Amino acid sequence: MTVTEQLSALSAILTHRDLHSLFQPIVSLSDRHILGYEALTRGPSNSALHSPISLFAVARQTGRLSELELACRESACRRFSEQKLEGKLFLNISPESLLEPSHPPGRTLQLLQRYGIPPSQVVIELTEQTPTDDFGLLYNALYHYRDMGFSIALDDLGAGYSSLRLWSELRPDYVKIDRHFIDGIHEDAVKREFVGSMLQMAKASRAVVIAEGIELQEELAVLIDMGVELVQGYLLCRPQEHPPRDARALLPMLDPSAGGFCEVVGDLALLMNTQPVVSESTPLVDVLELFRRHGSLQALAIVDVRHRPIGVVHRHALSDLRLPAKTPRQPAQE
């Protein structure tokens, strides 16, 4: 497709608002409900710009990114309202479009008012694709959204050019861990350490972590064990024009009354092996030593005097602690 053809296709899409909004659920594991939906956009099915990667790349190259993002927001708000979806609506916005001089202020609020969606129901999801240098202007733009009642999410944490600084400067309400760190996390101790560190940073900054891109049951099991609260991915539900409204249908592997539970338990039973436990009186230094000796161990069960489980201690919760240096053993006196 030539540059001229790309420009013509993009112009036609924007003129006719030929965009399709899909919604992917974000599920809360603690109470088995759908927190909200991320709105995703596709171009016309018969167009070379059907893929969002191609669509947004052409808009960025031709200086029409802000215009395209506004059209995507309009489509998402309209479809969200028409379906009377409940929960939060996550809307993707790139920092570079916010920083464009031509970016019209107040348009998102006007869209919400038109479709009867309160700002408190909307999360502005900041998606970083290119370097962001003007932190002061970006900070002011996002706090303008906050003043209007929106929540803020930082997407693809760990993948962007300056995502950690954005986290520190903007203090988002939600942070979404890039799927690179989720892919194969059950087989990669380094990824587990990274995610554990992100969970600690989120706790310190009072942000809620969303793990996205989950495709395997084993990945979900590790994230549950690590204490991740919100999850999103193909394992649960692909983006759809008419998304499900009941989280119980998306989490059969966690519901004993669902048919898939026994099958998952049977698969996990083949992988089970004996693991060490600690008592409630075990010194912290001994707990740290157990984690040091068992490099793949992510959690230890805590048992009472009758060997009944009463709690769990996670490796990531102790990741910033260090074992004290051992005192050399003195030779016995003659």
Tell me which architecture the domain covering 273-334 has in CATH: Roll (3.10)
Q: How far apart are the first and last CA of the chain?
A: 89
CATH 3.20.20.450 domain locations along the chain = 3-266
Mean pLDDT, residues 189-210 = 91
- Give ∠ CA 287-288-294 in degrees, rounded to 5: 90
Q: Are 51 and 43 a contacting pair, CB within 8 Å?
A: yes
Asked if residue 34 lies in contact with residue 22, where contact means CB atoms within 8 angstroms, the answer is: no
Q: Between these two residues, 36 and 315, which has the higher pLDDT value?
A: 36
- The model's confidence at residue 319, banded by pLDDT at 50, 70 and 90, is low
The two structure tokens encoding residue 202: 């989120």
For residue 285, give the H/E element and its range. Answer: helix 284-293
pLDDT band at 252 (very low <50, low <70, confident <90, very high): low
Q: How confident is the model at residue 122 (pLDDT cuts 50, 70, 90)?
A: very high
Separation of alpha carbons 95 and 129, rounded Å: 8
To the question of domain 3-266 being in CATH 1.10.645.10, the answer is no
- Within 8 A by CB and 6+ apart from 90, the residues are 26, 36, 37, 38, 39, 122, 123, 125, 153
Is residue 116 exposed (0-12), middle (13-18) or buried (19+ Cβ within 10 Å)?
Answer: exposed
Domain with CATH 3.10.580.10 in the chain: 273-334
Over residues 170-177, mean pLDDT = 89
Summary mean pLDDT of the chain: 81
**Would the pLDDT of 281 be above 80?**
yes
Q: CB under 8 Å to 135, separation ≥6 — which residues?
A: 165, 166, 169
